[in-house]
Amino acid sequence: MTAEEAHMAPPESKGHLSVARVKKGWHVACRSDQLGEDPVARTVLGWPLALYREPERGGVGAVLDRCPHRNVRLSKGAVDQDDCLVCPYHGWRFDSEGSCRGIPGLLQGQSETVSKRSIPALAAVEQDGFIWVWGDAESEPVGRPLRIPFVDDPDYVAIHREYLFECTLHAALENALDVPHTSFVHRGDFRGQAARHEIVAERRRIPDGIEVEYMGEPPLSGPTHSPDGSPIVQRHWDRFFMPGIAQVEYRTGADRHQITTFPHTPVSDFQTRGFLVSCWRLPDQNPEVIRTLEGFLDEILAQDVAILADQTANVLRFGGEAYGSTALDLMGPEIWRMLRRAEQGLDPNSAAIEQRVRLSV
């Protein structure tokens, strides 16, 4: 390196990247309506998977998308009457535990080798319109995936969306649960237009997660006062649930309620897929109102996709992160601590996180 080049090095970063691979947890692999009779390919935590439905048992299989014979993609195969996934090359058959159940052409006496040709398989369940996989082939699942509240409630409209973020799981989760950026990235869409308000935020531990409650903010949309002149109270909670679910809930007055549950799946270290389910109970649920809401969500999320891709590119350009947090960063550092501890096999719920801060939004 010449003396000139030494002066051209970028400023130092910590060389740290907020990448945590939490395998022991339920991750959404795809939506239920994306999995028909044919297998589909999806990647979760860097693992290429072949997902398929079992026509007989009615379950779902999730196996490594690589035939142990000659490495063809099993997701390009088909499912037979015995709930086995059949490789498209020589027809080896696998069940959803990953056990090889048949090799066409092998004669009796040669078949003892069949059972040894198994493939890694992940536990998979279907719930609330999603196919969830347990991210670790070596361990038994603990519990069930988090339920998506109100998704099947007839009094609610459920809006489903899927987004691909070019960023870490942690960056996507922080963004989904970060209030201060809304006044800038989404300026005028739901904050940042009117005068700022001073509000109070309380952070607390919830089972396998974190909740922040925001108090004192006027309603983000619609009337701010009742006909009798009294102010309409808005309640707002942001929640994180391990290993990748963000949830945002608003209750405004007596008749408006919205809760958005947003599972995030790490496809790879710097690519995260978000499956948004936004459930709304409104005084007026006509199709025009719903179309407006869909357009609103798409606009907001497109802005988040763009800022997150730019953040990732810049972190990588500098060779790592050099983050500086303040009291306003209520979620991100604690989410990171939980993800990191879970990745290390430690209890993610151990730290005391209770905090009350005043902020202006």
- The residue among 150, 130, 161 whose CA lies nearest residue 299 is 161
Report helix angle 169-176 to 332-343, nearest 10: 150
- Partner touching 120 among Fe ion, ligand FES, none, CB below 5 to 8 Å by kind: none
User: Could you identify the residue written with the tokens 């991100």?
Assistant: 332
Closer residue to ligand FES in complex, CB, 87/131: 87
DSSP 253-285: TTTEEEEEEEEEEEEETTEEEEEEEEEEE-S--
Instruction: Report angle CA 340, 345, 348 to the nearest 5 degrees.
Output: 55
Nearer to ligand FES by Cβ, of 70 and 144: the residue is 70
Cβ 239 to Fe ion, closest distance in Å? Answer: 16
Question: What is the rounded CA–CA span in Å between residue 322 and residue 16?
Answer: 8
Nearest approach, Cβ of residue 141 and Fe ion (Å): 32
Applying CB under 5 A, which part among 236-244, 272-280, 303-311, 328-336 lies near Fe ion? 303-311
Distance CA 147, CA 169 (A): 20
Minimum CB–partner distance for residue 308 and Fe ion (Å): 9
From the list Fe ion, ligand FES, none, which binds 125 (C-beta under 5 to 8 Å, kind-based)?
none
Nearer to ligand FES, 91 or 319 (CB): 91
CB of 207 to ligand FES, least distance (A): 43
- Shortest approach of Fe ion to residue 300 CB, angstroms? 6
Nearer to ligand FES, 103 or 125 (CB): 103
Beta bridge partners of 94: 85, 100
Between 119 and 167, CB nearer to Fe ion: 167
Which one, 95 or 178, has the nearer CB to Fe ion?
A: 178
Told to check if 238 binds Fe ion by CB under 5 A, we report no
Contact footprint for ligand FES (CB under 6 A): 67, 69-70, 72, 87, 89-92
In this structure, are residues 306 and 175 in contact, taking their beta carbons and an 8 Å threshold?
no
C-alpha 346/C-alpha 336 separation (Å) is: 13
Q: Is 40 exposed, middle or buried (0-12, 13-18, 19+ CB in 10 A)?
A: middle
Residue 92, both tokens: 């080896």
| 217, 304, 321, 334: residue in contact with Fe ion (rule CB under 5 A) | 304
DSSP-based three-state secondary structure for 157: strand
Torsion of CA 217, 260, 43, 174, to 10 degrees: 10
**Segment holding 204, helix H or strand E:** strand 198-206
From ligand FES, Fe ion, none, interface partner of 304 (C-beta below 5 to 8 A by class): Fe ion
Minimum Å distance from CB 137 to ligand FES?
19
Output 50 or 276, the one with its CB closest to Fe ion. 276
Q: Which does 72 bind (CB under 5 to 8 A by kind): ligand FES, Fe ion, none?
A: ligand FES
Q: Which does 92 bind (CB under 5 to 8 A by kind): Fe ion, ligand FES, none?
A: ligand FES
Coil, strand or helix at 304 = helix
Which residues form the interface with Fe ion (CB under 5 A)? 304
